[in-house]
Amino acid sequence: MKRIDKKPLTRRDYIKCAIVLTLYIIFLIWAQTWLGSIAIPFIFDIYITRKIRWSWWKDLENPLTRTIMSWIDAIVFALVAVYFVNIYFFQNYTIPSSSLEKSLLVGDYLFVSKMTYGPRVPQTPLHMPLTQNTLPTGGKSYLEWIRWDYKRVRPRPIQQNDIVVFNYPSGDTVVCNPLLQAQDFYIMAYSCGRELAGQIAAQRGESLPRLNELSPLELRNYYKWIYALGRLYIDEDQNPDPRQRFGGIMSRPVDRRENYVKRCVGLPGQTLEIRNRDIYINGQKTPSPRHVQFNYFVDLKLPLPDALVRELDISQEQLDMLRLQGYMPLTATAAHRLRLATDYVDTIYIDQSASTSDIYPLNGNTGWTRDNYGPVWIPAKGETVELTLDNLPIYERPIRVYEGNQLDVTNDGRIIINGSEADSYTFKMDYYWMMGDNRHNSADSRYWGFVPEDHIVGKPIMVWLSLDKDRGWFSGKIRWSRMFRWVDKLAFDH
């Protein structure tokens, strides 16, 4: 390898060094992270002292090797730049599901601002840029050798009805089978546990207890047993179908959990209630977005014509739901329009089915449903809640999981937090209540509870591209009317 002599320093080198250092120090002050100051000597060396041969590959005699190394150098620089831009400024996000339709559509590509609520310093800084938790080839895309505590740079409050991107709270625990990781682990565990409990009771010639007849302490012990049965079943991987085997259980740190996007309908300190599908905050009914949807049973005389499908913006996913299940999600406007289409529609009525088994809290017998829920008080930082065995299922997860306390209940029903008996708890973080606008087809806070402030990722700002998966490239695949539209304009239309 031929060594090339150092070029003499010029005034331009000093000016470039001064500009880069000034900008970097301004960034450190803004980000309030002085750990980054360790990079200052290296920046100085790149421009001035040049003790380290940063571009050693430029001295290689083989032109092919120099070309390859120049590409590697460019790629590494780009990945580092993307890493910092995604952490502190913005990132791209694609709407994967219909939970926010028709406000945000499947195939919308969003710019998500990290600045709006304050950038969150990564808790697992050693991760591959442009991945969330899994490498394209499989395996974890992050290392947990370094774990930083939660910190947000210059935090700002979330506003009522903001569309928010956040880490999925129940994603702290998932099964290892990639095909099953989208399923909520806790709903899966309780479901398996109930099925096993029923089998055990049948083998003994007994029946499961009537939940309404149990005391709060008995109810807690029953749900604890159910969850333990289900988790053991998942952990031992007893499913006979290889495709449905769980593959074990693993945990994920907060910032490596899947990203979700929902509407924030409840803020810290507010009391939320759902009555007949309407949301009430502190006892006052709140207006629903114009695009809010519910499932409607639709009996057809004839297939809907394509012109009507296009007019009402009915997706193929909705039509498939109608064909397979007899109902599909519709806005009030679309439902009214179908009622008038008597040549094609026989009857149409809203779905009022009311399951209670998969509703948060999963270990509480509240009787709440997706359409009638609460009232529930949303925890706020510095606020105190009185704890009883009746409301403990609602607040146990924030206390124990999100805020890292040890919580137990004694055999005589006393609540113990960090070794001391407690009849109240003061929260260390703010919490939020998130829901999708496609209310009957949204996995949201009604199913997994509160979203802690340390899970907040950012706010979608703009739709920069929108692709309709049901259309071809020459038949309307690109939704031109949605491109470069502000999300607030699309999502806050009442």
**For range 382-391, the mean pLDDT:** 96
pLDDT (mean) for 457-467: 91
Q: What is the pLDDT of residues 317-376, one digit of tens each?
A: 899 999 999 999 999 999 999 999 999 999 999 999 888 989 999 999 999 999 999 899
Q: pLDDT value at position 264?
A: 96
Instruction: Give pLDDT tens digits for 57-94.
Output: 777 778 888 888 888 888 888 888 888 888 888 888 88
2/203: higher pLDDT: 203
If one counts every other C-beta atom within 10 angstroms of the C-beta of residue 132, the result is 15
Residue 494 — very low, low, confident or very high, per pLDDT cuts 50/70/90? very low
Q: Alpha helix (H) ranges present in 237-353? A: 306-311, 316-325, 332-340
> CA 41, 43, 45: angle at the middle one, nearest 5?
70
Per-residue pLDDT, averaged over 32-43, amounts to 81
Q: Give 51: exposed, middle or buried? Use CB within 10 Å, 0-12, 13-18, 19+.
A: exposed
* pLDDT in the model for residue 493: 57
- Residues 6 or more apart whose CB falls under 8 angstroms from that of 348 comprise 296, 297, 298, 299, 335, 338, 339
Please determine, for residue 474, whether its predicted confidence score (pLDDT) is greater than 90: no
Over the stretch 267-313, which tens digit does the pLDDT of each residue have? 999 999 999 999 999 999 999 888 899 999 999 999 999 999 988 98
CA-atom Rg of the chain in angstroms: 27
The whole model's pTM is what?
0.89
